[in-house]
Amino acid sequence: GAGVSQTPSNKVTEKGKYVELRCDPISGHTALYWYRQSLGQGPEFLIYFQGTGAADDSGLPNDRFFAVRPEGSVSTLKIQRTERGDSAVYLCASSFIWGGELFFGEGSRLTVL
């Protein structure tokens, strides 16, 4: 595709519900990243994939958060038992190589009521 695509663009859910956020990276980009951005803050690293495997998931806040990239392209970030503190914009980015320029998607805005 022309750019990184993220769906949904907006998600409103209730506390305790399960949420999935999808990211479709730029074709040919092997590295895929998930960041979380709260209002007035910089993007906070969550997890990074090189191919199908999670190369570094040290940024995931707790075990309610999980991400997969089964075929080395599309990735899904999964959040169980959502809490109000999970409300943020979840940004996905991809790069041609690890350490290269990040291309960000428009983000998925998650609101937990």
Partner 1 sequence: GQQVMQIPQYQHVQEGEDFTTYCNSSTTLSNIQWYKQRPGGHPVFLIQLVKSGEVKKQKRLTFQFGEAKKNSSLHITATQTTDVGTYFCAGAMNYGGSQGNLIFGKGTKLSVKP
φ, ψ (nearest 5 deg) of residue 111:
-120, 120
In the bound state with partner 1, the residue whose beta carbon lies nearer, of 14 and 42, is 42
Degrees, nearest 5: CA angle 75-106-50:
30
Q: Which is nearer to partner 1, 37 or 71 (CB)?
A: 37
Whether 6 contacts 76, CB under 8 Å: no
Q: Give the residue with the Cβ less far from partner 1, 43 or 80.
A: 43
- Judged by CB under 8 A, the residue of 5, 13, 22, 45 near partner 1 is 45
How many CB atoms lie under 10 A from the CB of residue 10? 11
Where on the chain is the footprint of partner 1 (CB under 8 A)? 33, 35, 40-45, 48, 56, 58-59, 91, 98-107
